[in-house]
Amino acid sequence: MNRMQKIAVYNLVVFGTASLLTTIAIITLYHFLGWPRATAGLGFMGISGFAGFSPFLFKKGPEKVTCDERDVLINRTATLCGFAASYLWFCLAGTAFVMLLSPELLKRFGLPLMILGGMFVVVIVHSIMIFAQYGRSRDNDGK
């Protein structure tokens, strides 16, 4: 497993943990305290900040070549897919807020959630696409 795959696993674990804890906190707070105070459960999303430490945890090795042209192409394609999925997220989430809920709710509560969700979508799709492309290239090599 190379450095990029290790970072992708770490990011998926961190964002998965943050999402799970946030969901549990919001559901629990909503059950006991009601909706306005349940939004305090979004504080668990701060755990996702640990994803920023991944370059420090997985340093480049002592070998001379850390990535080749294939790795650069895989990272570029994964990044493009992540931002395309984020664009789709913004379009769908913005439309859902305007059509299903009130535009006033979008101003007060929806924009921070849309931005946070967009960040999650970029990182998660990027990590998944890294695994998908490395798996596909391994299958094509016959290994």
Which residue blocks in 34-108 are alpha helix, DSSP H? 35-38, 54-57, 69-100, 103-105
Total-model pTM? 0.80
Q: Are 120 and 19 in contact (CB under 8 A)?
A: yes
pLDDT of 59 higher than 60: yes
How does the average pLDDT of the chain come out, rounded?
Answer: 85
Residue 50 in 3-state DSSP? helix
Residue 94, class by beta-carbon neighbours within 10 Å (0-12 exposed, 13-18 middle, 19+ buried)?
middle
> Would you state the pLDDT for residue 103?
74
pLDDT of 24 higher than 80: yes
Whole-number Å distance between alpha carbons of 86 and 97 = 16
What letter would DSSP give residue 58?
Answer: S
Whole-number Å distance between alpha carbons of 75 and 92 = 26
Per-residue model confidence as pLDDT tens digits over 85-101: 999 999 998 888 888 87
Residues 35-49, mean pLDDT to the nearest whole number: 82
pLDDT of 13 higher than 60: yes
